[in-house]
Chain A
Amino acid sequence: MTQDFYRPGTSLIHRWNPVTTLSLSLTLVVTAFASQALWLPAALLVFVVFPAALVSGVFRRLLAWLARFLLPVILLLFVIQGLYHQDGPLLDLGPVGVHLDGVLFATRTALRLLVLTGAFLLLLFTTHPGELMTALVAHGMPPKISYLVSATMQIVPAFRQRAHSILDAQRARGLRTAAGPIGRVRALVPLVGPLVLGALSEVDERAVAMEARAFGATTRRTSYTVIADSAAQRVSRWSMLVITIAVIVLSATGVIR
């Protein structure tokens, strides 16, 4: 279910401009996927992601969530790719065999997924989503996108609560929680119907409220919240952008393998 990944903190990374952290995450992900070498994603994990998590005090949570998201995936990856890969087996076990290629492939994919997920968890653990949106708007993202993301995040809990109260009401009226897939789909209908219709019927009122707050105005917007930034961070963001583009180009042209 929905997590509140973010916890307030005072570490260096917590104090970074959210766009800096986002740039770091994206650079890490792109670099991890750029080369076939196993050491590259492993090094990014050990020398960047983990130390950053330690510095910001989220290391244990990072490990816990990585395990939760990726442990089953990685196990399956080794089973499937280790056993099914096409070239000759490394180990012949009768009907199945372990293939070197498959194991290498599984390891590489697992390491890349760890960087992908770890980099984003690092961002989410240290950055308030509202501040991320405000900072992105300050960097030119359309305010509409910020509104869409923030508003959804805030109305989901309310909708979930409504879903639960509809569910309770129906249980109280004696609607059984049915067995079997078809029965369960049927049981969803009286729940989803009122929930969705109720939600959609509020759209008009929300539109009026937004217009009343001049959301449709074409004037140049100002910002109430000021998000700290620094020259050093600006330089580092530009360098990360250059690195990212360079990595993509070098990899696509086959310079990096």
Chain B
Amino acid sequence: MIRLESLSYRYAETPTTVLRQISLTIPKGQLVGVVGPSGAGKTTLAQVMSGFIPHVFGGEVTGAVTVAGRSVRNTPLPLLVSDIGLVSQNPFNQLSGAKFSVAEELAFGLENLGVPRGEMVSRVDETLRRLRIAHLAERSPYQLSGGQQQLVAIGSMMVMRPGVLVLDEPTSQLDPAGSGLVFDALGELRERGVTVVLIEHKLEQLAEVADRILALVDGELRMDGPPSTVLAADELADWGIGRTRFTAAAVAAATHWPCGRPLPVTLAEAAAGFAEGAP
């Protein structure tokens, strides 16, 4: 569904290569987490995967990017976006501004695609309910809290039902309950066959939902594997990505963690390990 072949990228008018020689294939219906320190190139990667690089940002791309069977470079942007959604980092800038209520804001993308009104209404209602923002439907999107705006931004993409959904730190301003809601919704999308790429700092929640984790450091893909191996890796702390509380607890427990057992990244793994290690 998403395929990068030795992709490198440099922004226009800048000397540094921001993404270097990245190759990976994400099959349909996989939920992939992307972790990396600030400035690693995560946002840039998200824009490559959704076609805004090079279509909006220009710059120099080498290598190939294929999304949903289409070469990103050779497909016009309007065609690309009909099947790829991007939720970008700052929810304030994600709001269209064209609409004065949350419900209309959610419908904006559907209007542009020419979706018939009846279907539009039912999709908007479903999204409002799914993200538990139905009570905000008539409010102005600009009078919401950052977290609520983030939910609206996510909803405005979900409602378009793209086959590939890329989200750039979509829960940064949400409380744990709100983030939980988003993670659950993304899990459901995966079950429906949507390919999800999720850039996220909340490692513990990521470990619960992701099928696979990419670790991006200095524009290089340093690790690519299941959460239990990537998130438990020692290097993560050195790269400034941090580790889950469960991994940290097992490391701190030192000899109490069963010898030879992989470090835990979820509550269940930690509980099982400590139960085994207990005298």
**B55, B89, B96, B111: the one within 8 Å of A151 (CB):** B96
Q: Give the docked Cα–Cα distance between A213 and B108 (Å).
A: 7
Known contacts: A219-B114, A224-B121. The answer to whether A130 contacts B77 by CB under 8 A is no
Q: Are B142 and A211 in contact (CB under 8 A)?
A: no
* Interface segment, one of A88-96, A200-208, A249-257: A200-208
Residues of chain B in range 53-99 having any CB-CB distance to chain A below 8 Å: 55-57, 77-78, 81-82, 85-86, 88-90, 92-99
Known contacts: A130-B99, A130-B100, A154-B97. The answer to whether A211 contacts B112 by CB under 8 A is no
**A147, A150, A212: the one within 8 Å of B86 (CB):** A212
Q: Would you call A217 an interface residue if the criterion is a C-beta within 8 Å of the partner chain's C-beta atoms?
A: yes
Q: Are A224 and B114 in contact (CB under 8 A)?
A: no
Q: Would you call A174 an interface residue if the criterion is a C-beta within 8 Å of the partner chain's C-beta atoms?
A: no
Given contacts A151-B98, A222-B110, 11 further A-B contacts (CB under 8 A): A146-B98, A147-B98, A151-B96, A154-B142, A205-B90, A209-B93, A210-B96, A213-B112, A218-B78, A219-B114, A224-B103
Known contacts: A205-B93, A212-B85. The answer to whether A224 contacts B120 by CB under 8 A is yes
Residues of chain A in range 139-168 having any CB-CB distance to chain B below 8 Å: 143, 146-147, 150-152, 154-155, 157-158
Closest B residue by C-beta to A220: B114
Q: Which residues of B contact A215 (CB under 8 A)?
A: 96, 112
What mask results when residues 106 to 131 of chain B are scored 1 for a CB within 8 Å of chain A, else 0?
Answer: 01111111111100110010000000
Q: Would you call A231 an interface residue if the criterion is a C-beta within 8 Å of the partner chain's C-beta atoms?
A: no
Q: Give the docked Cα–Cα distance between A224 and B122 (Å).
A: 11
Known contacts: A155-B97, A214-B112. The answer to whether A224 contacts B124 by CB under 8 A is yes
Q: Would you call A182 an interface residue if the criterion is a C-beta within 8 Å of the partner chain's C-beta atoms?
A: no
Q: Which residues of B contact A226 (CB under 8 A)?
A: 117
The bracket for how many chain B residues form the interface is: 35 or more
Q: Are A204 and B100 in contact (CB under 8 A)?
A: no
**B56, B89, B107: the one within 8 Å of A224 (CB):** B107
Q: Would you call B52 an interface residue if the criterion is a C-beta within 8 Å of the partner chain's C-beta atoms?
A: yes
Q: Would you call B104 an interface residue if the criterion is a C-beta within 8 Å of the partner chain's C-beta atoms?
A: yes
List chain B positions with a Cβ less than 8 A from chain A.
Answer: 47, 50, 52, 55-57, 77-78, 81-82, 85-86, 88-90, 92-101, 103-104, 107-117, 120-121, 124, 140-142, 156-157, 160
Q: Which residues of B contact A212 (CB under 8 A)?
A: 50, 52, 81, 85-86, 88, 109, 157
Q: Are B97 and A217 in contact (CB under 8 A)?
A: no
Shortest distance from the beta carbon of A180 to any chain B beta carbon, whole Å: 37
Shortest distance from the beta carbon of A163 to any chain B beta carbon, whole Å: 16
**B77, B110, B116, B160: the one within 8 Å of A211 (CB):** B77
| Among B93, B101, B103, B110, residue most surrounded by chain A Cβ atoms (within 10 Å) | B93
Q: Are B140 and A207 in contact (CB under 8 A)?
A: no
Closest A residue by C-beta to B50: A212
Known contacts: A158-B142, A202-B93. The answer to whether A214 contacts B82 by CB under 8 A is yes
Interface size in chain A (residues, C-beta < 8 A): 37
Q: Would you call A15 an interface residue if the criterion is a C-beta within 8 Å of the partner chain's C-beta atoms?
A: no
Q: List 11 A-B contacts (CB under 8 A).
A: A158-B92, A205-B88, A205-B94, A208-B56, A210-B96, A211-B78, A213-B160, A222-B115, A222-B120, A224-B103, A224-B104
Q: Give the docked Cα–Cα distance between A17 and B142 (Å).
A: 25
**Which 9 pairs of residues, A with B, have the shortest CB-CB distance?**
A151-B97, A224-B107, A130-B100, A213-B109, A214-B112, A219-B114, A205-B93, A147-B98, A209-B94
Q: Would you call A86 an interface residue if the criterion is a C-beta within 8 Å of the partner chain's C-beta atoms?
A: no
Shortest distance from the beta carbon of A219 to any chain B beta carbon, whole Å: 4
Shortest distance from the beta carbon of A148 to any chain B beta carbon, whole Å: 9
Q: Give the docked Cα–Cα distance between A151 and B98 (Å).
A: 5
Q: Are A224 and B92 in contact (CB under 8 A)?
A: no
Q: Give the docked Cα–Cα distance between A162 and B114 (Å).
A: 36
Q: Are B86 and A208 in contact (CB under 8 A)?
A: yes
Q: Are A147 and B96 in contact (CB under 8 A)?
A: yes
**A151, A158, A213: the one within 8 Å of B156 (CB):** A213
Q: Give the docked Cα–Cα distance between A224 and B114 (Å).
A: 10
Q: Would you call A225 an interface residue if the criterion is a C-beta within 8 Å of the partner chain's C-beta atoms?
A: yes
Q: Would you call A173 an interface residue if the criterion is a C-beta within 8 Å of the partner chain's C-beta atoms?
A: no
Q: Which residues of A contact B89 (CB under 8 A)?
A: 205
Shortest distance from the beta carbon of B58 to any chain A beta carbon, whole Å: 11
Closest A residue by C-beta to B55: A211
Q: Which residues of A contact B103 (CB under 8 A)?
A: 224
Q: Are B111 and A221 in contact (CB under 8 A)?
A: yes
Q: Which residues of A contact B92 (CB under 8 A)?
A: 158
Q: Which residues of A contact B93 (CB under 8 A)?
A: 202, 205-206, 209
Q: Would you call A85 an interface residue if the criterion is a C-beta within 8 Å of the partner chain's C-beta atoms?
A: no
Q: Which residues of A contact B77 (CB under 8 A)?
A: 211, 216
Shortest distance from the beta carbon of A221 to any chain B beta carbon, whole Å: 5
Shortest distance from the beta carbon of A217 to any chain B beta carbon, whole Å: 5
